[in-house]
């Protein structure tokens, strides 16, 4: 099968029998639901842009399995050039959508599972790596969107998986069968789950032998029997039901997350990538987290580009673009944004080959990248709100603008710089609101804090990877200390 167009992707999602719930009701047609459709459009863009010659170099790659052209989101990284192109692709997509385009998790799961299964097979003689290679080829051939599922609800964070009062707080194997396994549990914050045809499940933490039943990785179709998706709420989400694309801020694109429940889901043997080899759970988690922390040096930077641009436009519309403090704030926003990009590129350029043959980013630099992402987008958003002014959260609605009664007042008192229409001023304010406070903030500001692990998770990895003993020896050598 050739690579799909955006429309072909949309039609493929119509054929899925997803069990999606939102606001307590089953959504029979997620594809055309007005709240969910913008998130589907973001994924659709990854197909449309892959078919565009202008973006082909970034959006596509050559499969290391078949030699065919594939979407880069389904690629196994073959060198540092692939790692760098991944980050550049993510920045471009952030610029094009100003939203979460949802496929990074699957791409990062692809590469983490690929190398980890190779090492499990090497130790235990299992068939996990072969299983995964065949699965990857299948997804490449179908040109599927693959979701990556790692985060468990976790219950009491002070207790290990096996010690939880409710054993389902971490996804686990509840039945070992001759032809496969049955799993039960849930995965939280699942970005793009309802817009994916497939899902790769991984453990969420390192595990010991007593957590053996929780050390599991596998792939299932997203409409497999027993999978239920409960859509997470986003700020301003019901604005999409009001019929005003102006008030939404970014009416075409968006992101989505869901709580994905696995209610005794069967997984056949040829789709299992880890099943009880608990000492490899940590390796899979660490590698996935590293790749995903690299990703944030691309996607968040692209969305940041849009926000910086929106702040600059707002300053012009407000009539204060030439003020020195406005110029300085835009410079600071750019400095912070490009620093994030530097980290994403650096950890990619310093990548190394794994035993399996794919390339892994520099883990220390990837964690530094994500640590910066937990801070800089918040400052970028703060400065954008500063530049835009308080009107960004108190502006009248489009209905008030169009009303024969209130419209003339809105036109009169919302006017700013000469030659700028009130409608255009409202549009840029709503975009800033969307990125800083609205539904897109889930994929920019808040996700910058918790996506790919909380700040403390990165600090732990920075401590592990920082090689402090070597640095102490350097200092002692220069100081001519002899012990």
Question: What is the SS3 assignment for 228-248?
Answer: EEEECCCCCHHHHHCCCHHHH
pLDDT bracket for residue 61 (50, 70, 90): very high
Phi first, then psi, for residue 171 (nearest 5°) are: -60, 140
* Residue 85: per-residue pLDDT: 98
pLDDT bracket for residue 443 (50, 70, 90): confident
Q: Which CATH class is domain 284-467?
A: mainly alpha
Are the C-beta atoms of 80 and 351 separated by less than 8 Å?
Answer: yes
pLDDT bracket for residue 1 (50, 70, 90): confident
* Residue 356: per-residue pLDDT: 98
* Residue 126: per-residue pLDDT: 98
Are the C-beta atoms of 174 and 102 separated by less than 8 Å?
Answer: no
Nearest CA-CA partner of 139 in 196, 91, 87: 196
134 by DSSP, 3-state: which?
helix
What are the residue boundaries of the structural domains of the chain, listed by start? 6-280, 284-467
| Mean of the per-residue pLDDT values of the chain | 97
Nearest CA-CA partner of 217 in 200, 197, 196: 200
Per-residue pLDDT tens digits for 12-29: 999 999 999 999 999 999
Q: Which CATH class is domain 6-280?
A: mainly beta
**Cβ atoms within 10 A of the Cβ of 383, count?**
20
Q: Is 201 left (phi over 0), alpha (psi -120 to 50) or beta?
A: beta
To 10 degrees, what angle do helices 363-373 and 376-388 make?
Answer: 30
pLDDT bracket for residue 58 (50, 70, 90): very high
Q: What share of the chain in percent tops pLDDT 70?
A: 100
Contacts 24+ apart (CB under 8 A), 75-78: 75/107, 75/110, 76/110, 76/111, 76/114, 76/136, 76/358, 77/111, 77/351, 77/358, 77/359, 78/357, 78/358, 78/359
- Spatial neighbors of 191 by CB under 8 A, at least 6 apart, are 100, 102, 105, 147, 255, 256, 257, 443, 451
* Residue 377: per-residue pLDDT: 97
Question: What is the SS3 assignment for 348-376?
Answer: HHCCEECCCCCEECCHHHHHHHHHHHCCH
* Residue 442: per-residue pLDDT: 83
Per-residue pLDDT tens digits for 279-325: 999 999 999 999 999 999 999 999 999 999 999 999 999 999 999 99
* Residue 283: per-residue pLDDT: 98
Mean pLDDT, residues 336-343 taken together: 98
In this structure, of 261-270, 346-355, 395-404, 430-439, the range with the lowest mean pLDDT score is 430-439
Are the C-beta atoms of 154 and 12 separated by less than 8 Å?
Answer: no
Q: Is 411 left (phi over 0), alpha (psi -120 to 50) or beta?
A: alpha
How far is 177 from 458, CA to CA, in rounded Å? 38
Nearest CA-CA partner of 112 in 394, 356, 439: 356
Distances (CA, A) of 141 to 46, 71, 197, 273: 16, 10, 13, 20
How far is 82 from 75, CA to CA, in rounded Å? 9
Predicted TM-score (pTM) above 0.95: yes
Q: What share of the chain in percent tops pLDDT 90?
A: 98
- Where do we find the tokens 């003993």? 469
State yes or no: pLDDT of 439 exceeds 90. Answer: no
How far is 157 from 164, CA to CA, in rounded Å? 9
**CA distance from start to end of the chain:** 67
Active site amino acids:
100, 104, 191, 257, 292, 296, 299, 447
How far is 171 from 164, CA to CA, in rounded Å? 12
* Residue 446: per-residue pLDDT: 87
Mean pLDDT, residues 261-280 taken together: 98
Nearest CA-CA partner of 392 in 307, 327, 301: 307
* Residue 95: per-residue pLDDT: 98
- Spatial neighbors of 277 by CB under 8 A, at least 6 apart, are 120, 123, 124, 126, 215
Per-residue pLDDT tens digits for 184-230: 999 999 999 999 999 999 999 999 999 999 999 999 999 999 999 99
* Residue 70: per-residue pLDDT: 98
Phi first, then psi, for residue 266 (nearest 5°) are: -85, 135
Are the C-beta atoms of 102 and 192 separated by less than 8 Å?
Answer: yes
């Amino acid at each position: 099968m050739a690579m799909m167009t955006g429309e072909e992707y949309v039609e493929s999602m119509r054929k899925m029998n997803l069990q999606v719930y939102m606001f307590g009701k089953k959504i029979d047609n997620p594809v055309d639901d007005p709240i969910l459709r913008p998130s589907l459009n973001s994924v659709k863009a990854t197909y449309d842009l892959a078919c565009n010659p202008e973006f082909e170099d970034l959006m596509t790659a050559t499969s290391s399995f078949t030699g065919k052209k594939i979407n880069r989101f389904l690629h196994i990284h073959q060198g540092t050039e692939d790692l760098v192109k991944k980050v550049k692709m993510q920045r471009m997509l952030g610029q094009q959508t100003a939203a979460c385009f949802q496929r990074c998790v699957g791409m990062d799961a692809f590469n983490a599972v690929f190398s980890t299964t190779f090492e499990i097979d090497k130790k235990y003689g299992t068939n996990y790596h072969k299983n995964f290679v065949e699965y990857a080829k299948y997804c490449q051939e179908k040109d599927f969107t693959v979701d990556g599922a790692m985060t468990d609800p976790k219950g009491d964070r002070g207790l290990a998986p096996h010690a939880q009062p409710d054993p389902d707080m971490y996804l686990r194997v509840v039945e070992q069968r001759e032809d496969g396994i049955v799993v039960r549990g849930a995965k939280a914050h699942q970005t793009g789950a309802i817009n994916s045809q497939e899902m790769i499940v991984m453990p969420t933490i390192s595990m010991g032998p007593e957590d053996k039943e929780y050390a599991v990785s596998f792939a299932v179709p997203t409409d497999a029997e027993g999978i239920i998706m409960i859509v997470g709420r986003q700020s301003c989400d019901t604005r999409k039901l009001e019929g005003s694309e102006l008030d939404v801020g970014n009416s075409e694109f968006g992101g989505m997350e869901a709580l994905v429940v696995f209610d005794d889901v069967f997984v056949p043997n040829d789709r299992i990538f880890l099943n009880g080899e608990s000492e490899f759970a940590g390796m899979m988690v660490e590698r996935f987290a590293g790749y995903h922390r690299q990703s944030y040096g691309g996607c968040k930077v692209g969305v940041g580009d849009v926000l910086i641009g929106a702040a600059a436009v707002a300053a012009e519309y407000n009539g204060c673009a030439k003020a020195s403090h406005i110029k300085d704030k835009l410079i600071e926003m750019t400095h912070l944004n490009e620093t994030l990009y530097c980290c994403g590129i650096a950890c990619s350029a310093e990548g190394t080959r794994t035993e399996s043959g794919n390339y892994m980013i520099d883990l220390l630099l990837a964690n530094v990248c994500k640590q910066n992402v937990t801070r800089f987008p918040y400052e970028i958003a703060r400065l954008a709100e500063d530049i835009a002014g308080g009107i960004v959260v108190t502006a009248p609605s489009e209905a008030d603008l169009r009303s024969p009664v209130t419209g003339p007042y809105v036109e009169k008192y919302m006017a700013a710089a000469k030659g700028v229409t009130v409608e255009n001023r409202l549009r840029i304010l709503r975009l800033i609101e969307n990125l800083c406070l609205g539904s897109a903030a889930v994929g920019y500001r808040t996700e910058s804090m918790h996506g790919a692990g909380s700040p403390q998770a990165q600090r732990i990895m920075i401590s592990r990877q920082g090689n402090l003993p070597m640095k102490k020896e350097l200092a002692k050598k220069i100081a001519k200390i002899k012990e």
